[in-house]
Amino acid sequence: MSQKKRWYKRIVPFLREVRAELKKVTWPSRNEIYSTTLIVIIATFFFGFYLYFMDVIFSWVISHIKNLFG
């Protein structure tokens, strides 16, 4: 048997290290989560409408160009 530990013997130390690292994380507050989520939703709607209207405008322009040239 090689000097490498088997994968199942490395799970417990790995999970301990993960837990220790998660304790170091600074988690956002409820207000920060709320505000950033709201910003993402608003930005998604804004860019969705923007891209939709740009698509409508470009489609209209392309269709007129195609009608003009045959």
Mean pLDDT of 41-64: 97
Instruction: Give 33 or 4, the one with higher predicted confidence.
Output: 33
Q: What is the pTM of this model?
A: 0.61
pLDDT at 3: 58
Distance CA(58)–CA(44), nearest Å, equals: 21
Distance CA(50)–CA(58), nearest Å, equals: 12
Q: Where are the domains of the chain?
A: 7-69
pLDDT at 9: 83
The dihedrals phi and psi of 26, each to the nearest 5 degrees, come to -95, 110
pLDDT at 6: 81
1-30 tens-digit pLDDT: 455 668 788 899 999 999 999 999 999 999
